[in-house]
Amino acid sequence: MTLSLQDPLLATYALAASLMILKTMAMGWLTVWRMMQVKGGYRAPEDLRRTLLNRAPDPAQLAPDERVERMRRIHMNDLENVPFFLAAGFLFVLTGPPLIWAQVLLYGYVASRLLHFAAYVTAQTHDLRATLWTLGSLMVMGMALRVVWVVLA
Amino acid sequence: MTLSLQDPLLATYALAASLMILKTMAMGWLTVWRMMQVKGGYRAPEDLRRTLLNRAPDPAQLAPDERVERMRRIHMNDLENVPFFLAAGFLFVLTGPPLIWAQVLLYGYVASRLLHFAAYVTAQTHDLRATLWTLGSLMVMGMALRVVWVVLA
Amino acid sequence: MTLSLQDPLLATYALAASLMILKTMAMGWLTVWRMMQVKGGYRAPEDLRRTLLNRAPDPAQLAPDERVERMRRIHMNDLENVPFFLAAGFLFVLTGPPLIWAQVLLYGYVASRLLHFAAYVTAQTHDLRATLWTLGSLMVMGMALRVVWVVLA
């Protein structure tokens, strides 16, 4: 396989991977947005200095704020999952799977993570969130297992 | 280098990388398993809702539980290390090292991380855990340094 | 594109990526160095055992120490950013951008993260740190957006 984005398998991967990169980076921005909304949830002691962005510092700004912490938990969940999807998906397309399977797994993963985000940010039940996490986790492990299988076969 | 899993260098990388992806994803499952065992160690306030998976909610379920936290620490240690192994190992095989060196470094890394897991999950001394972490960390940095060297040479 | 480190685009990526891998791995070592300096900031209960590296254990060693925590926060910030740069940068060079743009974005990212480190480790204002983070974050998102654009066009 020469790596060309005109190859439909690699194009599928590149699109799914880029969307997951943008989704994860967005969590940093959502955390910042919430910190500006609640004017708190900071972590570094120097963030209590008076600056343009923090005109009225207050020690309480270093206390955890659930609206900020929720974004951090979602971000953390992405860090536990997305980098491994990025690597597994790339190796998976190198095994030359049928295009339809690549589309189902790679776009299906993106869908599972967007639904996981929707469930988490609106505080749905643990059961729903866990189901969506499970779905994505199984897809990543399935892709990695296929790579192991192809290499050893 | 065209990327073919029949190339022994790329096959070595693909196998080692897939094993590390599966290992890290397994930490998520081990954390879930421990949370179900101790019926606690949760983090989101909504996890105290009564659901099929949590039939007897109790505020104490949101307190940290060492059996769960241990899994989270091991998972975190993977997040600090494995993604960088995945990227460094890929670039390292692109430099065309001798196959035997690739096998020693890539499979050696997998072994060092499995031993690190074994030492951490059974609460061995800090010294043993640190030694195994050091070994893996040096291998990743060695691979990255070779890439820098080859590009600049 | 066959993947050759003699290709200037791929060489640019490989160099920038390796530097970011080394930078992030260095955070682990800096955290260890600070823990040895302050003889504390540990996290695992077994780290209070008497060993060669810890000859005078004391329960206070498990309390957070700001000099250690600062390194951990910088490390965490890398984990939230660098893995996504590594993936986005690779896909970005596959889109065949002009070399000068690749150099500006990839080396510019490395510079933004080194400055972010310098600002964070010396406890500069939140505003300066946030500006440097924003710069790097926009570069990663810009690269990912170009990949989306090229695949869909």
Alpha-carbon distance A126 to A1, whole Å? Answer: 42
> Which chain C residue has its CA at the smallest distance from A10's CA?
C151
Alpha-carbon distance A131 to C68, whole Å? Answer: 36
What φ, ψ does residue A54 adopt, rounded to 5°?
-140, 85
User: Which residues of chain B have a CB within 8 Å of the CB of A66?
Assistant: 45
CA distance to partner chain C, nearest, from residue A58 (Å): 14
Going from the C-alpha of A93 to that of each of A10, B125, C15, C20, the distances in angstroms are 7, 41, 25, 26
B62 CB contacts (<8 Å, ≥6 apart)? B40, B42, B43, B45, B47, B48
- Domains of chain C (ranges; CATH) run 8-152 (1.20.120.550)
What pLDDT digit, counting tens, does each position of A82-94 carry?
999 999 999 999 9
pLDDT over 80 at B2, yes or no: no
Q: What is the mean pLDDT of residues A94-117?
A: 98
> Which chain B residue has its CA at the smallest distance from C72's CA?
B80
Neighbours of C77 (CB within 10 A): 20
pLDDT over 70 at B128, yes or no: yes
Q: Inter-chain contact B28–A81, Cβ cutoff 8 Å?
A: yes
Burial of A108 (0-12, 13-18, 19+ CB in 10 A): middle
User: Which residues of chain C have a CB within 8 Å of the CB of B147?
Assistant: 5, 14-15, 17-18
Going from the C-alpha of C128 to that of each of A48, A120, C104, C134, the distances in angstroms are 14, 31, 21, 10
Q: Give the ipTM of the model, two decimals please.
A: 0.96
User: pTM for this structure?
Assistant: 0.97
> Which chain C residue has its CA at the smallest distance from A7's CA?
C151
Q: Inter-chain contact A14–C91, Cβ cutoff 8 Å?
A: yes
Six-digit token pair at C17?
Answer: 């990526």
What pLDDT digit, counting tens, does each position of B93-121 carry?
999 999 999 999 999 999 999 999 999 99
Q: Nearest to residue B89, comparing CAs of B108, B71, B76?
A: B108
Going from the C-alpha of C72 to that of each of A20, B15, C1, the distances in angstroms are 25, 31, 39
pLDDT over 70 at B1, yes or no: no
B15 CB contacts (<8 Å, ≥6 apart)? A147, A148, A151, A152, B106
Alpha-carbon distance C77 to C73, whole Å? Answer: 6
Residue of A6, A25, A77 for testing the chain C interface, max C β-carbons within 10 Å = A25
CA distance to partner chain B, nearest, from residue A153 (Å): 10
Per residue of chain C (153 residues), give pLDDT as tens: 678 999 999 999 999 999 999 999 999 999 999 999 999 999 999 999 999 989 999 999 999 999 999 999 999 999 999 999 999 999 999 999 999 999 999 999 999 999 999 999 999 999 999 999 999 999 999 999 999 999 999
Going from the C-alpha of B92 to that of each of A50, A143, B19, B95, the distances in angstroms are 46, 23, 17, 5
Burial of B69 (0-12, 13-18, 19+ CB in 10 A): middle
pLDDT of residue A3: 87
